């Protein structure tokens, strides 16, 4: 994967779960990605973990 500011989250269960959920949306044509997936997933991981949601 290319370098991005969210690499610290890449090997986590949260990253994998979010990545697969987005895969489902894209495969069902419920979502079109305009931003590289790593940035989307990384941002969501960061928000969840830093906002104390988990």
Write the pLDDT tens digit of every residue in 1-54. 568 999 999 999 999 999 999 999 999 999 999 999 999 999 999 999 998 766
CA–CA–CA angle 42, 13, 2 (5° rounding): 40
Q: Encoding tokens for residue 6?
A: 């969210």
Rounded CA separation 22/32 (Å) = 10
Residue pair 5/35 in contact by the 8 Å Cβ criterion:
no
Q: Encoding tokens for residue 52?
A: 């104390």
pTM beyond 0.85: yes
């Amino acid at each position: 994967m290319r370098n991005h500011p969210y690499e610290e989250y890449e090997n986590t269960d949260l990253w994998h779960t979010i990545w697969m959920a987005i895969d489902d949306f894209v495969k069902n044509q419920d979502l079109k990605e305009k931003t590289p997936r790593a940035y989307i997933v990384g941002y969501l991981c960061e928000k969840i973990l830093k906002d104390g949601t988990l």
